[in-house]
Amino acid sequence: MPPIAVAIAVVVMALRREQARQAALPITPPFPVTIPAAYCGVCGKLLGPAEFFCTTCGTPRARSPQPPPPPQLPASSSAPPPPPQ
């Protein structure tokens, strides 16, 4: 067998081994990309990942994610008593 044929046979065998090795590897899905939730700093609306302005009040989105605003007390509840002096 000529040396070129031997070289080609070696390369073909190496390619087949590599294909078999790659086929035997477990397929892992890519890591999910999560975008942190952002809330409007003025009205508290949850902003979508592609929203640069609040669709409720028009305020520009802050550069860093904002925590959700504290829950509003119902209008019918009375205010807490003032602290003792």
Per-residue model confidence as pLDDT tens digits over 34-44: 767 788 888 98
Q: Residue 10's pLDDT is what?
A: 96
Q: Which has the minimum average pLDDT: 4-18, 20-34, 45-59? A: 20-34
Cα–Cα distance, 11 to 5 (Å, whole number): 10
Per-residue model confidence as pLDDT tens digits over 44-77: 899 888 888 999 999 888 765 556 666 666 655 5
Answer whether 0.85 is exceeded by the pTM.
no
Residue 56: partners with Cβ closer than 8 Å, 6 or more residues away: 40, 43, 45
Compute the CA torsion angle 19, 21, 23, 26 (nearest 10 deg): -150
